[in-house]
Amino acid sequence: MVPSVTIVDVADPASPRLEQVAHLLNTVFVDPDTVLGLDRIRAFLGANAEPAAVGRTFFVLAAVGAGDQVVGASLFSYVPASNCGFSEYILSHPSVRGQGLGRQLFEARKRRLETAAQATGQPGCHGLFIEATNPARTPPELLEAERETEMDAAERLRLFAHLGFRRVDYAYVQPPLGPGQAAVDYLDLLFAPWSAAEADTIPAAWVLETLAPIWRAWSPTQPPPQTLDGHSRLRLLPL
pLDDT in tens, 190-225: 999 998 666 799 999 999 999 999 999 999 888 888
- Residue 100 pLDDT more than 90? no
pLDDT band of residue 226 (cuts 50, 70, 90) is: confident
Let me know if residue 1 belongs to a domain: no
Which pTM does this prediction carry? Answer: 0.93
Where in the sequence is the domain holding 96, given as residue range(s)? Answer: 6-237
Let me know if residue 148 belongs to a domain: yes
Q: What is the pLDDT of residue 196?
A: 67
Q: What is the mean pLDDT of the chain?
A: 91
Average pLDDT value for residue range 73-98: 93
- Residue 135 pLDDT more than 70? yes
pLDDT band of residue 4 (cuts 50, 70, 90) is: confident
pLDDT band of residue 99 (cuts 50, 70, 90) is: confident
Q: What is the pLDDT of residue 231?
A: 83
- Residue 149 pLDDT more than 80? no
Q: What is the pLDDT of residue 3?
A: 65
Let me know if residue 23 belongs to a domain: yes
Let me know if residue 31 belongs to a domain: yes
Let me know if residue 94 belongs to a domain: yes
pLDDT band of residue 2 (cuts 50, 70, 90) is: low
Count how many domains the chain has. 1
Q: What is the pLDDT of residue 112?
A: 97
Q: What percent of the chain has pLDDT over 70?
A: 97
Let me know if residue 13 belongs to a domain: yes
Q: Which long-range contacts (CB under 8 A, 24 or more apart) does 171-178 make?
A: 172/131, 174/34, 174/131, 175/215, 175/218, 175/219, 175/222, 176/33, 176/218, 176/219, 176/222, 177/33, 177/34, 177/35, 177/36, 177/40, 177/218, 177/219, 178/36, 178/37, 178/40, 178/218
Integer-rounded Cα Rg, in Å, for the chain is: 17
Query: What CATH number corresponds to the domain at position 13?
Result: 3.40.630.30
